A and B are shown apart, each in its own frame.
Chain A
Amino acid sequence: MPVNQPRTTSTSPRTAEVTAPGLADAAPLAGPSHGAGLRVAILAGGLSHERDVSLRSGRRVAEALRGAGVDVSIHDVDSALLGDLDARRPDVVWPLLHGAGGEDGSLRDVLELLGYPYVGTGPHASRLAWDKPIAKARFVAAGLVTPDWLTLPQELFRDLGARGVLDIVAQRFHLPVVVKPTRGGSALGVTCVTRPDALARAMVDCFAYGDTALIERHVEGIELAVSVIDGADGPAALPAVEISVEGAYDFDARYNPGRVEYFTPARLTRSQAQHVSDVAIAAHRALNLRHISRADMILAPDGTVHLLEVNVAPGMTETSLLPQAALAAGHELGSLYQRLVALAVPEAASAARP
């Protein structure tokens, strides 16, 4: 296992360079407080549109944890879940649920009530991050840049007439714009609209996923994802992943290898890399997130970093961005996940373990 020397010169936030930032000096590497010997229950599946992605994430994380010697079980979110958890009595629960139920905080509320420690952000903060317009308002309040946006519920179109509203959007916003559901991930229901006559179709595709649309100004630039691991020393960014895609970074591009070329670390200057790391950490803090998050952003040619959204349950599949960043940083996935699990265990409980 590669052990990274703690950097002596830099203080948090750390720069995302080729070596692993963050967890290296978080804690010693052995012992039960590091996850080995803990019982972990992974939650994956659910009934959201992203069930398939969640199942893949769950299997990948379970496999990595098992490889590191952790006792892992995987559970779907269904009527058997509470009974299964009760029977298994996990030390830590790791919700790897994407979409409604998983990221909106509701399930985390239940975990809190049941008193299970879990990996990731708490219910209240999850709920804020999950709602893209609310999160964007937070970014602005924190002095971060996010593309201009409008939030348009379907009723508004009904009340004011679709044609009129779409004309205003096209004029006020100038195309291209990105139309997306205010909630949900994996680019589902997302369209980049370059022509006024394509707006109506984009709205229909978006409203099939939810009743409110976010219309965001499209920003040209380098597409980046910066994952944040929030260890004992506070949040640290993993190296940025640059997404170079032919066409749109849509569902197909995300989960079928081929059209996307990923560069990890991203092809950035040192100061750019520092800047995007700072933005990701600032966003993580602005939304009061915990343990793990991933910020999606665009680095415009003028050097501005436009923050698109922050995910409280980043994808962990074969083609997902956080695992790529972790590997590039020199982490071994099993031990990284193991340490994330350990972070969730309350101090007292881990100390009390034999």
Chain B
Amino acid sequence: MPHMARKLPAPLVTRLLEEGLGPSAIVEHLRSKEGIDVSPQAISTFRKRHTAVPAQHSTRRVVPWDVRPEHRSSGYRRAILAFHRRAQGQTLTGEEARNLDHVERTLRESGQVITYHPDTGFALVPARPGIDTGIIEEPEAGMTPQPTHSTTPDEHAAPAPGAVSAEAGGSGGEGTRLDPWFGSYAQRAHGMRASEIRALFSVANRPEVVSLAGGMPFIQGLPLEVFGESLHRLIATQGATALQYGSGQGDVALRERILDVCALEGITNAHPDDVVVTTGSQQALDLVTRIFVDPGDVVLAEAPSYVGALGVFRSYEALVEHVPMDAYGLVPEALERALLDARAAGKTVKFLYTIPNYHNPAGVTLTLERRHQVLEICQRFGVLIVEDNPYGLLGFDREPLPAMRAFDSEGVLYLGSFSKTFAPGFRVGWVIAPHAVREKLVLASESSILSPSNASQMAITTYLNEFDWKGQIKSYRELYRERRDAMIGALAEHLPTASWNVPDGGFYVWVTLPEGIDARSMLPRAVTARVAYVPGTAFFYNGEGSGHMRLSYCYPTPERIREGVRRLSTVVNAEAELVQLFGTSAGLDEDPRDAEYPSPNLA
């Protein structure tokens, strides 16, 4: 193995990697052009540690010219790199794809290809038939890429005594991405980025702002003082257990009480052993996806769907196909069509993720008749149902409908939670699963958290044993109904140009904005007006939804809700005038992967 005599010329190697060369071709380039001997392994290691470039083995440079630094941000160069990445089957960002589309269209219409000269930069020249078959002017056959002049980015820098060139790897030429592990992240982490939208939510917790954005339940309604005394007793008498590790599956006393809660929604055929306690139902969602979904598998979800679930699916590299819903919930015919389409396309559908009651964000409930239809369709196609039901007991006008799990103990994984009916701070949820699935869930949970919090579970058991929890749920229902009424009344009064559904339970109203308004684009205006909402795009995997917003009425008082909607109306009216003036319409979110929802502790 050649001795690594000098430090790698980082900027040059990065550029060659970006331009598609494999390690051995880069080794050759360095040896012939720079007189540097390095091993292919050194290049691979460098790629993984310091760049985001995926492994490749090409011996040909994608951009066969030595591009000067001032030309590197050229749209043509980016188009060439995107063209190459697309050819390798990689996904392009919205911006990359649009830039490439635009360039390709120009080239096609004009019969030209891209060329480059260091003095004049990128330009278009007529394509030579039979030679320039791609989007660039192919270098002359047999010639190596020229010029080799200015291969180093600071070639044009004066050679000051002791000056550190990029080649020497000194402080003068070494760039930084401010994250030494940037090149090491898994593919699934690349979308885990903060966004402009998320930063805007930062004002939502300030008292001046009416936040209709969050999903925090109204904890102030709980009998906190008396409950505090119970917790004191719990720790004093059972602290040695409460503060110890627990079982991976969860405390059996709580699992028994969980079945009492589930019985209210018609689940009477479950055993405490079928229950796995999780850290919020969010962890249940994570575990279920972990044990079922391989990268590229399809998960079906309503359109729109819960933003936190979409995040989990994305992190396991699932493909989400949205299935339309209407005022009666998921549309069974559309579900069947989606399953047929997926089958025809040769895709594997692993499960249907559905929120049948008081949907987040759409606010609708799946009718009883459709529950049976959905079960029948999924049974016929052999597709599992993940029934996520955090809001089922929070209906305003009637007793809960039976859960789908009540009719099918083999084909449904049922997710429940104490976060909305009691308190999210304990982070206790659960999943009811058939025995084989449950065994895997327990092992998966142990590998992720060892065991759910014993203290939290025992606190909840204490609450269920010592307090009138059903009465508390009833008072929550009344509280939230009053808030729903405040919001719907205010919408009717102040926002007649929009449309919305009237939820009969849960926390959310799904608002369709007047034609042309883009909810993402409007959010800064709302922040200026001291009101916040979540743009509809957060609830779609594919960037749709910008013509909608989710308003939540769970946390602010009725008076604040009315004030918030009033502020929102001035925002919507001003934005409507603007989009009318410019004739723009609600567009796709170019990068649906980044985080465009508030963190859970925002009101």
Contacts and interface: CB of A to CB of B under 8 A. Distances in A.
Interface of A: 18, 47, 49-53, 55, 76, 78, 154, 157-158, 162-163, 166, 186, 188-189, 194-195, 200-201, 203-205, 207-209, 220-222, 242, 244-248, 250-252, 255-265, 267-271, 299-301, 318-319, 324, 328
A301 B75 CA distance: 17
Contact of B202 (A52, A194, A262): A52
B95 interface: yes
B57 to A, nearest CB: 22
Given A209-B524, A247-B95, A258 B582 contact: no
A257 to B, nearest CB: 4
B594 A47 contact: no
Contacts of A18: 171-172
Interface in B157-179: 157-158, 160, 166, 171-179
A251 B196 contact: yes
A301 B582 contact: no
The interface centre, meaning the residue of B69, B102, B193, B583 with most chain A CB atoms within 10 A of its CB, is B69
Contacts of A203: 582
B582 A244 contact: no
A174 to B, nearest CB: 15
B203 A267 contact: no
Contact of B69 (A200, A222, A251, A260): A222
Contacts of B368: none
B209 interface: yes
Given A267-B166, A301-B70, A188 B524 contact: yes
Nearest to B120: A301
Contacts of A163: 583
Contacts of A188: 196, 524
Given A49-B524, A270-B158, A262 B176 contact: yes
B176 A261 contact: yes
A171 to B, nearest CB: 18
Contacts of B69: 222, 244, 267
Given A47-B203, A269-B158, A257 B582 contact: no
B179 A257 contact: yes
Given A154-B578, A267-B173, A189 B524 contact: yes
Given A51-B202, A208-B524, A222-B69, A252 B195 contact: yes
B20 to A, nearest CB: 15
Interface stretch (B217-225, B431-439, B515-523): B515-523
Contacts of B175: 242, 244, 261-263
A339 B587 CA distance: 49
B527 A49 contact: yes
B208 interface: yes
A208 B196 contact: no
Interface in B510-540: 518, 521-525, 527-528, 530
Given A203-B582, A252-B195, 13 more contacts: A49-B524, A52-B198, A201-B582, A204-B582, A220-B70, A221-B70, A251-B199, A252-B196, A255-B199, A262-B176, A263-B176, A299-B70, A301-B70
B583 A251 contact: no
B78 A47 contact: no
A218 B176 CA distance: 26
A256 B178 CA distance: 9
Interface in B45-61: 52
Interface residues of B, number: 63
A197 to B, nearest CB: 10
Given A189-B524, A208-B521, A262-B175, A256 B199 contact: no
The interface centre, meaning the residue of B182, B521, B579 with most chain A CB atoms within 10 A of its CB, is B521
A182 to B, nearest CB: 14
The interface centre, meaning the residue of B154, B160, B176, B196 with most chain A CB atoms within 10 A of its CB, is B196
A250 B579 CA distance: 23
A244 B77 CA distance: 14
A168 to B, nearest CB: 15
B581 interface: yes
16 contacts: A47-B206, A49-B199, A49-B528, A51-B199, A51-B202, A52-B198, A76-B206, A157-B582, A201-B582, A201-B587, A209-B524, A209-B528, A260-B177, A261-B14, A267-B173, A270-B158
Contact of B583 (A200, A264, A271): A200
Contacts of B195: 251-252
Contact of B178 (A50, A207, A257): A257
Contacts of A300: 70
B203 A51 contact: yes
A205 B177 CA distance: 28
Nearest to B81: A246
A188 to B, nearest CB: 6
Contacts of A204: 518, 521, 578-579, 582, 584
Nearest to A53: B199
Interface in B75-122: 75, 78, 93, 95-96, 102, 121
Given A251-B199, A257-B182, A208 B193 contact: no
A255 B179 CA distance: 11
The interface centre, meaning the residue of B207, B524, B525 with most chain A CB atoms within 10 A of its CB, is B524
B296 to A, nearest CB: 24
Q: 7 tightest CB-CB pairs across the interface, nearest first?
A: A257-B179, A52-B202, A261-B175, A52-B199, A267-B154, A257-B178, A200-B582
Nearest to A47: B203
B153 A267 contact: yes
A217 to B, nearest CB: 16
Contacts of A200: 582-584
Contacts of B208: 47, 78
